Structure 1
Amino acid sequence: MKNNDLKSTHFSAEIEQLSIYDYDKRLGYNPDFLGSSYSVPHPYFRPDLKEDIALLKDGSTILDYTHFSIVMSKSRRLAYYTVVNIDGALLKEVKRGKDSWYIDPRIDACEQTGPELYAGNDLDRGHLVRRQDPIWGEEANQANEDTFHFTNCSPQHKDLNQKTWLDLEDYLLNNTENFKLKATVFTGPVFGSDDPDYRGIRIPKEFWKLAVMVKKDGNLSASAYLQSQANLIRDLDFSFGDYKTYQVPVTRIEELTGLDFGELRKHDPMAKPRAAMLRIVDFEHENHLPLL
């Protein structure tokens, strides 16, 4: 798939809001997408985090969009995690368009982070569910629009969002498309106690992804990745330092986030690693444990 996501989100975009009724047909993430034998449910929250989950106005906790879903944090005003179904055999090309960003009316606006955070600095509106991931099937155009919700973005320094993060996203999406695979991808920030405050929002220093798919041998694979922007956000007017991607055990993501991914940790190629983490130098030459 050609990459047309290189355009920076570092710009003035139109802000819109749909009617709450416009979301009635959004079915969201399907836990049985990989097959009934490989059901992948939403993660469980550590008990002390449950009170911080933003509630929808109907009292539920999951924001459903087209082929993906999101659970939000009230205190951080960002997503705890997103989860998307990707069908590599049905992916479509959809142009970005005018990039209108939406406030989701199903939760209070004060529990979302809007455009004011991203103005006049080096922070991008970093898509958590990558724009291209849910764009497949008959609902491709709707899925494209749905990714432009503020609930689906998190503040990422432009050098992370447009370089290291993009390389990881390309690797995951290219695998699903090239091999015509289905995949489930969880994504989110790490909410650290020492995350810096900027314009009233604490900026995550780390982000993670957990990619789940059925391997060629018919077994499930769950691979976790961790990236840091700590050096990049020390001073948002001056970027310095390096940024790397690490493949880590699923249990490491659980420790950092307070999320419990259950059976997925049993299908992790890093479950019995030679090291606690593996630095990825080059996805193309696979100096890491491959997905398949």
Structure 2
Amino acid sequence: MSDGYDAEFLGTPLPLPRPAHDVRTLPYPRFTVLLDPERRLAAVTAVNIDGATLQSLPRTGDWRLDERLRPDEQTGPEVYARNDLDRGHLVRRRDPGWGPPAPARAASEATFFYPNAAPQAAGFNQSKELWLGLEDHVLAYAESTDQRVSVFTAPVLEDSDPPYRGIRVPLRFWKVAAWRGPDGLAAAGFVLDQSDLVDTREEQKAVPLLGGFRTFQVPIIDIAALTGVDLDALTEADVLARPGARETGWLPLDTAKDIVL
């Protein structure tokens, strides 16, 4: 379908992180999804963002199944019908939409394939807006380095995730943003926790809003331990692990000003 994630995009090699288990590799324009066919959700997504040439594009595109997969290997429209679950973009719609208008539009519309979605509790509040804006914050920080960022995002796929309509709804999501800093590769890791919002105790039950999303900046080594994804190259570049960085553990984020870069 396209060339997918570019490991050389930042000017220093950054391989696509992979989990230990088997996944389906799905390249799209400027991003790649590694799909876990048993969970029917992405184990990893990876996108290259050129902030200097991002296009402001109208929202176009309809959610659709990827014909490279069987329908029972992806989480399709039946999971999102008649409830309060959102089709949450993993690779954001605008992130691959850079460069000349035509390829930017094609890349943006490709984010509407179901392998790039995961069920998220509906509704927007300050914490979720912060989560969705993390790439923008990192792009602004990386302005002196050509505004190029590679971002990796996925649900934390745990055996304890609650069952719902033939899938298990993930309660946490992770994101790692990487850029080229003055001293080489730099990266920051984040976790979104929606545990307080999701109630699937009854099959076919709507998922109500029960509280706020919680967003944390976390050591990337903790994300690797949570997910089983090989993040070694990013762990070594973690801004929380650099010499002189204060011990933060899991740092709750209320605004972008709380982010350590």
TM-score by length of 1: 0.80
CA RMSD of aligned residues (A): 1.7
Which of 66, 74, 80 matches 2:43? 80
Task: Using the TM superposition, give the Cα deviation of residue 177 of structure 1 relative to its aligned residue in structure 2, in angstroms.
Answer: 5.6
Tell whether 2:154 aligns with 1:188: yes
Which amino acid in 1 is paired with 2:192? Q
State the alpha-carbon separation in 1 of the partners of residues 26 and 39 from structure 2: 16
State the alpha-carbon separation in 2 of the partners of residues 228 and 109 from structure 1: 28
Instruction: Give the structure 2 partner of residue 281 of structure 1.
Output: 254
State the alpha-carbon separation in 2 of the partners of residues 100 and 256 from structure 1: 32
Q: Cα 1:75–1:267, aligned 2, differ >3 Å: closer, same or farther?
A: same
Task: Using the TM superposition, give the Cα deviation of residue 251 of structure 1 relative to its aligned residue in structure 2, in angstroms.
Answer: 0.7
2:44 alignment partner, SS class: strand
State the alpha-carbon separation in 1 of the partners of residues 140 and 212 from structure 2: 30
State the alpha-carbon separation in 1 of the partners of residues 240 and 161 from structure 2: 27
Tell whether 2:119 aligns with 1:155: yes
Q: Deviations over 1:211-263 (max 9, x none)?
A: 00012x24221100001111101254432133211000111110111001122
1:267 alignment partner, SS class: coil
Which of 168, 175, 179 matches 1:202? 168
Instruction: Give the structure 1 partner of residue 203 of structure 2.
Output: none
Instruction: Give the structure 2 partner of residue 13 of structure 1.
Output: none
1:210 alignment partner, SS class: strand
> Displaced runs of 4+ in structure 1, greater than 6 A?
none
Q: Deviations over 1:30-76 (max 9, x none)?
A: 000001xx111011322xx23xx23xxxxxxx211111000101111
What are the equivalent positions in structure 2 for 1:56-67 lying under 5 Å apart?
62-67=25-30
Which of 14, 28, 31 matches 2:4? 28
Instruction: Give the structure 2 partner of residue 176 of structure 1.
Output: 139
Instruction: Give the structure 2 partner of residue 41 of structure 1.
Output: 15
Percent sequence identity is: 37
State the alpha-carbon separation in 2 of the partners of residues 241 and 34 from structure 1: 38
Which amino acid in 1 is paired with 2:107? A
1:137 alignment partner, SS class: coil
State the alpha-carbon separation in 2 of the partners of residues 264 and 243 from structure 1: 25
Structure 1: segments with no counterpart, 5+ residues: 1-22, 55-61
Contact 1:43 1:261 in 2 (8 A): yes
TM-score by length of 2: 0.89
Structure 2: segments with no counterpart, 5+ residues: 201-205
Tell whether 2:185 aligns with 1:211: no
